[in-house]
Amino acid sequence: MTTPAPRIAGVVPPVVTPLTEEGTVDVRSLERLVERLLAAGVDGIFALGSSGETVFLTDNQRDQVLETVVKTVGGAVPVIAGCIEPTTRRVLDRAEASARLGADGLVATAPFYAIVGPHEIERHFRSLASSVELPLFAYDIPVCVHTKLSTDLLTRLAADGVVAGVKDSSGDDVAFRQLVLRIAEQAPDTGFSLLTGHEVVVDAMMLAGASGSVPGLGNVDPAGYVRLHRACVGGDWDTARREQDRLTRLFRIVDAADPATTAGATRGVGAFKTALALLGVIDGNAVSLPLRPLDADETARVRTQLELAGLL
Which residues make up each annotated binding site for pyruvate? 214
What DSSP string describes 198-250?
-TTSHHHHHHHT--EE--GGGGT-HHHHHHHHHHHHTT-HHHHHHHHHHHHHH
Q: Which residues are annotated as a binding site?
A: 214
What DSSP string describes 38-107?
HHHT-S-EEESSTTTTGGGS-HHHHHHHHHHHHHHHTTSS-EEEE---SSHHHHHHHHHHHHHTT-SEEE
Specify whether the CB–CB gap between 164 and 189 falls below 8 A.
Answer: no
Active site residue 167: yes
Say if residue 232 is exposed, middle or buried (CB neighbours under 10 Å; 0-12, 13-18, 19+).
buried
Active-site residue (options: 139, 148, 225, 273): 139
CA gap 18, 209 in Å, rounded: 33
Active site residue 113: no
Active-site residue (options: 113, 148, 167, 273): 167
Show which residues are catalytic: 139, 167
